[in-house]
A and B are shown apart, each in its own frame.
Chain A
Amino acid sequence: MARYEVSHRTLQRYREHVHRSRNEVRLKPIDSATQRALGSQIAVDPDAEIADSLDYYNNAVWMVAVETPHRELIIEVTSEVEVLPPLFEPRLDHPWDFDAMAFNPAAEYIASSPRVPRLRGLDSLLEELSVRAGDAASLMAANETLRDHFAYVPGATTVGTRLPEVLERRVGVCQDFAHVMLAVARQSGWPARYVSGYVVPRASETIGESHAWIEVGTPDGRWIGLDPTHGVAVRDGHIRVAVGRDYDDVAPVRGTFAGQLPGEPPEVSVVIRPLVGAGVGPATPAYVLSDQ
Chain B
Amino acid sequence: MALTLRETAGGAVADPLVAEREWFSEHGVNFGLVQDGTVVQRPIPFDPIPRVIPRLEWARLQRGLLQRVLALDHFVRDVYDAQRILRAGRVPGSVVYGSPSFLRYASGPPARLAGQVCVAGIDLVRVAGEWLVLEDNLRVPSGMAYALAARRAMIDLHRDRTVEFGPRSLSDYARRLRQALQNRGPHDGLVVVLTPGPYNAAYYEHRELARLMNCRLVQSHELIASHRGCWLVEGKERHPVSTIYHRYSPEFLDPVGGAPNSLIGVPALLAAWRGGHVALANAPTCGVGDDKSVFPYVPEMIRYYLGEVPILEQPPTLDLSHPPHAAAAFDRFHDHVFKPVDGSGGKGIVFGPSAGEVDRAAVMATALTRPSALIAQPLLEIERLSCVGPDGDIEDRRCDLRPFVILGDDPWVVPGGLTRVAPDADSWLVNSSAGGGIKDTWVEA
Contact = CB atoms under 8 A, between A and B. Distances in A.
B353 to A, nearest CB: 31
B89 A103 contact: yes
B260 A254 contact: yes
Interface string B94-122: 10011000001101100000000000000
Contacts of A67: 226
A130 interface: no
B255 A107 contact: no
Contact of B104 (A23, A57, A65, A120): A57
B227 A63 contact: yes
A187 to B, nearest CB: 15
Contacts of A24: 256-257, 271
A36 B148 CA distance: 60
Contacts of A51: 227-228, 271, 275
Interface residues of B, number: 31
* Residue of A104, A256, A258 ringed by the most chain B CB atoms within 10 A: A256
B86 A63 contact: no
Contact of A53 (B83, B267, B274, B370): B274
Interface string A82-105: 000000000000000000001111
A63 B268 contact: yes
Contacts of B271: 22, 24, 51, 53, 63, 65
Interface string B200-230: 0000000000000000000000001111100
A47 interface: no
Nearest to A117: B370
B93 A65 contact: no
Interface string B59-97: 000000000000000000000100100111100111001
Contacts of A22: 225-226, 256, 267-268, 271
Interface string B237-271: 00000000000000000011100100000011001
A255 B83 CA distance: 29
Contacts of B226: 22, 49, 63, 65, 67
Given A63-B226, A255-B256, A108 B93 contact: yes
Interface in B118-166: none
Nearest to A104: B93
A103 B83 CA distance: 10
Nearest to B260: A254
Interface string A107-123: 11011100000101000
B369 interface: yes
Contacts of A49: 226-228
A103 B86 contact: yes
A107 B93 contact: yes
A273 B373 CA distance: 48
B80 to A, nearest CB: 8
Contact of B267 (A55, A112, A249, A255): A255
B268 A103 contact: no
B274 to A, nearest CB: 6
Interface string A52-95: 01011100000101010000000000000000000000000000
A283 B107 CA distance: 39
Nearest to B225: A22
Interface string A22-37: 1110000000000000
Interface in B270-294: 271, 274-275
Given A24-B256, A56-B80, A111-B98, 13 more contacts: A22-B256, A23-B256, A53-B227, A53-B271, A55-B105, A56-B104, A56-B105, A63-B271, A65-B228, A107-B97, A249-B104, A254-B256, A255-B267
Q: Which 8 A-B pairs rank lowest in CB-CB distance, beginning with the nearest?
A: A107-B93, A56-B104, A65-B226, A51-B227, A111-B98, A22-B268, A22-B267, A56-B107
17 contacts: A22-B225, A22-B256, A22-B271, A49-B227, A51-B271, A51-B275, A53-B108, A57-B104, A65-B227, A102-B89, A105-B87, A108-B93, A118-B370, A249-B104, A254-B260, A256-B260, A258-B267
